[in-house]
Amino acid sequence: MKVEVLSKKEKWIAMNNGNICTPKGFSAGGLHCGIKRKRKDLGWIYSEVPATAAAVYTTNQFQAPPLKVSKESINTNGFLQGVIVNSGNANSCTGKEGLQNAYKMRQIFADKAGIEPHNVAVISTGVIGEQLPMRKITKGVESISGLENSNDGCSFEEAILTTDTFTKHICLQLETENKVYTIAGAAKGSGMVHPNMATMLGFVTTDINIDPEALQQALRDVTAGTFNMITVDGDTSTNDMVLVLANGMAGNKQWTQDDDEYVLFKEGLHIVCQSLSQQIARDGEGATKLIEVQVNGAVTTHDAQVVAKTIVGSSLVKTAVFGQDPNWGRIVSAVGYSGITINTEKIKLKIGPILIVEDGMPVSFCEEEAKSYLKNEKIEITVDLHAGNENATAWGCDLSYDYVRINASYRT
């Protein structure tokens, strides 16, 4: 899938062969330990030195034990040096035993890496309500070879997948006269994606030296316009998070929120997170199309975000896109029930380049031209509220027959 990489300053350059191991000092890998039948199900990230860590978490009240343990690790001193992830089993709604297993998983990886347990994050994804097969996980961790030197980001990307149909990654570099800076990301997400935050897994590594508070603030700000603006099916998971590790091995003087470089860092982080968000939306279970909804002319950014996510999350809009039906009534209906106060007599709507509604009224358009446009892999819907100057973009996917098939047989 072609991923758009946009930078206003045109300084961050996409690396086609880069992955989360590309930033200096990071290694990663993945293997099959037996949670799944055949596919890789255990992945890890390791940094040569403790890395400043920042994270955002799911808002689901059922927060799984691994998430609680990872929070504890990050809150201990703000640093992480290792991440251990399993797929196929979420270790969610598993009680005291599940929490003990999450701690065991953390300890096992810490022993393998020769680091303190509180410098390890533990993450699980998959089926809810089943205890982890700890013997398999223990054996898998113990079988890792060359942990410090493993440059297998591709295997890590495979090991974190559940119902995904492709791996998701991006890597950017910025060259100056004296330094080379790298930011890279990997993610999984296909179903149960309606972040607020997060309902998928996202991992970002960078060798930039950045102040802990600046890193956390940058992640919060970037998340609001990227991961929090995607939806697949309206469900929010119990486990998931976005994690950023910054180990400082690029050798720069530490950047703070007062530095000009902080703006540059946020720009790179935004590009990485937006790309991963789009890839997740495109890989919605059973999806055939990526839907991008741009809402302009809102009174506030929040208003624009709500309207955009309401449209892209509408099952009726999703099915119309899948069926290549330019049913604009479903779109304006979603705008109307979004909960945002609007002037219905000012609404303007386009499907791709085709003007459909102006001043709240339908205009004459070629039905066949609109149907032809809806055959594209990426569908753009633009709504102008003509109420203010704020805007927002949301991403989602169509809703196909395969979505029901995949989720009806998820545990079988």
Q: pLDDT, tens digit, for every residue of 250-293?
A: 999 999 999 999 999 999 999 999 999 889 888 766 678 889 99
Place of tokens 């691994």: 66
Q: pLDDT, tens digit, for every residue of 347-395?
A: 999 999 999 999 999 999 999 999 999 999 999 999 999 999 999 999 9
- For residue 264, the model assigns a pLDDT of 94
Class of domain 13-282: alpha beta
- For residue 189, the model assigns a pLDDT of 80
- Of 201, 257, 251, give the one whose Cα is nearest residue 55: 201
CB proximity list for 408: less than 8 A, separation 6 or greater: none
Q: Which of 94, 125, 199, 226 is catalytic?
A: 199
- For residue 173, the model assigns a pLDDT of 96
Which residue type does 165 have? T
* Token pair recorded at residue 239: 């486990």
User: 403 or 384, which is more confident?
Assistant: 384
Q: Would you list the domain boundaries of the chain?
A: 13-282, 290-408
Q: How confident is the model at residue 409 (pLDDT cuts 50, 70, 90)?
A: low
- For residue 188, the model assigns a pLDDT of 93
- For residue 233, the model assigns a pLDDT of 45
- For residue 404, the model assigns a pLDDT of 65
3-class DSSP string for the chain: CCCCCCCCCCCCEECCCCCCCCCCCEEEEEECCCCCCCCCCEEEEEEEEEEEEEEEECCCCCCCHHHHHHHHHHHHHCEEEEEEEEEEECCCCCHHHHHHHHHHHHHHHHHHHCCCHHHEEEEEEEECCCCCCHHHHHHHHHCCCCHHHCECHHHHHHHCCCCCCCCEEEEEEEECCCCEEEEEEEEECCCCCCCCCCCCEEEEEECCCECHHHHHHHHHHHHHHCHHHECCCCCCCCCCEEEEEECCCCCCCCECCCCHHHHHHHHHHHHHHHHHHHHHHHCCCCCCCEEEEEEEEECCHHHHHHHHHHHHHCHHHHHHHHCCCCCHHHHHHHHHCCCCCCCCCCCEEEECCEEEEECCEECCCCHHHHHHHCCCCEEEEEEECCCCCEEEEEEEECCCHHHHHHHHCCCC
Whether the Cβ atoms of residue 70 and residue 103 lie closer than 8 Å to each other? no
76 is catalytic: no
**Average of per-residue pLDDT across 184-191:** 84
- Of 225, 335, 340, give the one whose Cα is nearest residue 274: 225
Q: pLDDT, tens digit, for every residue of 340-351?
A: 999 999 999 999
- For residue 6, the model assigns a pLDDT of 42
- For residue 25, the model assigns a pLDDT of 98
Q: pLDDT, tens digit, for every residue of 300-310?
A: 999 999 999 99
Q: Over 70: is that where the pLDDT of 400 sits?
A: yes
Q: pLDDT, tens digit, for every residue of 195-210?
A: 443 347 999 999 999 9
The pLDDT > 70 percentage for the chain reads 88
Least reliable range by pLDDT among 49-63, 115-129, 194-208, 382-396: 194-208
- For residue 79, the model assigns a pLDDT of 97
Which residue type does 221 have? D
Q: How confident is the model at residue 163 (pLDDT cuts 50, 70, 90)?
A: confident
* CATH superfamily membership of 290-408: ArgJ beta chain, C-terminal domain (3.10.20.340)
Could you count the other beta carbons within 10 Å of the beta carbon of residue 177? 4
* Token pair recorded at residue 77: 């001193």
**Average of per-residue pLDDT across 240-257:** 94
- For residue 14, the model assigns a pLDDT of 94
Q: pLDDT, tens digit, for every residue of 15-33?
A: 999 999 999 999 999 999 9
- For residue 165, the model assigns a pLDDT of 84
Q: How confident is the model at residue 294 (pLDDT cuts 50, 70, 90)?
A: very high
The pLDDT > 90 percentage for the chain reads 74
